[in-house]
Structure 1
């Protein structure tokens, strides 16, 4: 079943399962860009404090189990299959007609319940107010990452409309943290929703860079005050993500024992594959992997590449996109004169039959309209990477879709 927002089916399914989501504390994270990084910062920091922690993120990277992490590892095949089968059998027996995403979300909650998870960090799938993950009456904290234009068909055509949908994860008397670098219309819309729901307080947070070290940031939080934090993740936008995570963890420490050293260690050891992820591959060379799939993400990727690109240096962009993405806007943002595109596709995505790769001919047509060279490698991402590595050794970027990155990571045995 394709995307079909609404909570009726999900609440019915969870009730039939015995409401597994009520067995653990939850941290909810929504937004357009950065929510996966924020989830992982929080998850890794809580692991440092020796809590039994779960994390649910989407879309999955290689297979559906990737979405569900428990205590530093993805759910075991045995656990996942047992929970998946139970959820599907319940759905079929009671004619719940749940969507694929709802089934996977319920499976994650059942996995956490059976594993005696104490705290689970939950990434919203699409939007917030009507998303299948929005079933917690009193999460520890609600977090809103950077909000931009994406999925307008479902969420609205303006930043304010989209922000109101995503702010729907907020709950009465529950603190909320929001990326303070958001557009003012986003911040205003979120505060209005918070007031209407009696949610809050709302913390709009930012980070200050540490001079001459792009991985260190200064963040000021209510309990811990001003501190320097280090992240292993790349990109200037990680400052805002880190500020959101640290502030959320500070708030969480009001409910469960959590100390600053746990957070410092957790942030420093966070790994989030496929997000400005630089890999050295044997016999291939250096490749930058980034899941940038909307214009905001493309802007941040472009900033990083341009800061590190040598004058006159050419880059080859291995790109694939889902059929609904703004390919023109992304290519205009990323690809510079002298660069080249290797357009490719990814295979069908298990469990998501409505996801399709954009044809390489369509990508090539858009590139031609911008006077940019483009080679087509339909159903042949291996060939696209071989071409890119030969054309610009150690200056290859694979981006446009996490579904493409997942296939490449699987093939090369990357974590």
Structure 2
């Protein structure tokens, strides 16, 4: 076992629960570390259910194209924990020695006290972001917002609420309004709040929260908007229309995510200029989000002409977006769509699968070996059937993939395969295919 794995395992054992939303433990540890959260570059704080990572990736790409150095904090990771922390000093993921040193110092400062894994690793990230120079910190919320470990930043230059969907109901509430209220907990007085397109129930809660705390709100559809126009991205706000290239991320929902990123950089006073923004949008890289597999062991197993897609979306809102993209692909190039899906027990499979009704020919359900709370494939198949899809459970990914290939052979045409339902599953696929993010 290497040093990083060993220390992460020790930190994971410091609290009996994986998730226990609170700020007290984090405040205690940060104080013991010399309050690194008070000595960070300008922060853009990002909450929401869907699109946080894509919005963050778009902002990073545009800022870096304009010569800015970006610290980035995201979660979860796909293959390696290091993916969660990108240091703007060199633009690279944190190295093992630097990560170990920060984790070790946090472990010593914590002195065995109860603290969650996310809290103590976020403290380590804050240490690194204080000690390494950068121009901007793009800080993604882990879960919720109000009581998230990242929500100890007093004066961000902008906050963002991406689309809110039903997810993590056990921790955030069992209604869209309750979940939206938790997300809106990151809003700060005097700090611009960039609000993505929302369902009415969520949008109303977020706008009222912004008014209550005195955060100037920029609302999608009112203060800014975007659409595809003749193969280009047309962004519009009070300054007029900005003509930009489409983002290098697939799916119509990525136009909305790019719009949020553009609005946030403008609101934060960090707009790099139209030319740099255009270069950034064309260079965005965010693995595991409608990512096409075009090489590697799995790709080599599929018949010529097949399409293999990876997406880590795992809630009803993500299901709508991914199914819409697959529907567009079907219109452009008809072929049978097969899903290979694995999900966690904390997710809503019926809500995720329902948008694929009439589109997916079959769902092969598989276990997720890298997650302790993965849903049993037999249970997941039952829930796919509850969404009116045909489904069969399999003991592993290889068996599911072979079945899809057998079905494709009977069909006599190359399949379109979507491997979906969990970022953990996507991470396993990328590891198998030798495509770890960097």
TM-score, L = length of structure 1: 0.91
Give the Cα–Cα distance (whole angstroms) in 1 for the partners of residues 73 and 176 of structure 2.
Answer: 26
Residue 91 of structure 1: aligned partner: 110
- Counterparts in 2 of 1:109 and 1:222: CA distance versus 1, 3 Å: farther
- Does structure 2 conserve the Cα–Cα contact (< 8 Å) formed by 1:341 and 1:374? yes
Match of 2:350 among 328, 333, 340: 328
Given candidates 228, 234, 238, the residue that maps to 1:210 is 228
Tell me, which stretches of 5 or more residues in structure 2 are unaligned? Answer: 1-16, 409-413
Q: How big is the shift at 1:37?
A: 0.5
Whether 1:185 and 2:201 are equivalent positions in the alignment is yes
What's 2:190 paired with?
Answer: 173
- The residue aligned with 1:74 is 93
CA displacement at 1:318 relative to structure 2: 0.6
Change (3 A) 1:133 1:222: farther
Is residue 339 from structure 1 mapped to residue 361 from structure 2 by the alignment?
yes
- Asked whether 1:41 is paired with 2:48, we answer no
Match of 1:132 in 2: 149
* Greater mean deviation of Cα atoms: 360-369 or 202-211: 202-211
Matched positions, count = 402
Whether the 8 Å CA contact 2:47–2:140 is kept in 1: the answer is yes
- Whether the 8 Å contact between 1:224 and 1:260 is mirrored in structure 2 is no
Cα deviation for residue 223 of structure 1 reads 5.2
- Please tell me whether residue 297 in structure 1 is matched to residue 318 in structure 2: yes
Does residue 403 in structure 1 map to residue 403 in structure 2?
A: no
State the distance in 1 between where 2:346 and 2:246 align: 36
Q: Does 1:278 align with 2:297?
A: no
- Inter-partner Cα distance in structure 2 for 1:257 and 1:239: 18
* CA shift digits 1:153-185 (9 cap, x unpaired): 222222222111111111010011011x21222
Deviations 1:82-102 (A, max 9, x none): 111111221225x2x220111
Mapped contact 1:389–1:396 kept (Cα < 8 A)? no
- Paired with 1:328 and 1:148, the residues of 2 have a C-alpha distance of 14
2 CA distance for matches of 1:258 and 1:338? 42
* Structure 2 CA distance for partners of 1:114 and 1:30, relative to 1, 3 Å: same
Query: Relative to structure 1, is the Cα distance of residues 49 and 312 closer, same or farther in structure 2, using a 3 angstrom cutoff?
Result: closer
CA contact (8 A) 1:48 1:263 kept: yes
Q: Are 1:219 and 1:229, in contact at CA under 8 Å, matched by a contact in 2?
A: no
User: Aligned in 2, Cα 1:178/1:369: closer, same or farther, shift over 3 Å?
Assistant: closer
TM-score, normalisation: structure 2: 0.86
Query: Contact 2:195–2:217 at 8 Å: present in 1 too?
Result: no
Give the deviation of 1:224 after TM superposition. 7.2
Partners of 1:61 and 1:67 within 8 A in 2: no
Quote the RMSD (CA, aligned, Å).
2.1
Is the Cα–Cα contact under 8 Å of residues 337 and 372 in structure 1 kept in the other structure?
A: no
Q: Corresponding residue for 1:16? A: 32
Uncovered stretches (5+) of structure 1, i.e. residues with no partner? 350-354
Pick closer, same or farther for the CA change 1:308–1:190 going to 2, 3 Å.
same
User: Residue in 2 aligned with 1:7?
Assistant: 23
- What is residue 232 of structure 1 aligned with on the other side? 248
Equivalent pair of 2:354/2:388 in contact (CA under 8 Å)? no
Given that 2:345 and 2:374 are in contact with CA atoms closer than 8 Å, whether structure 1 keeps it comes out as yes
Distance 2:329 2:405 in 1: 18
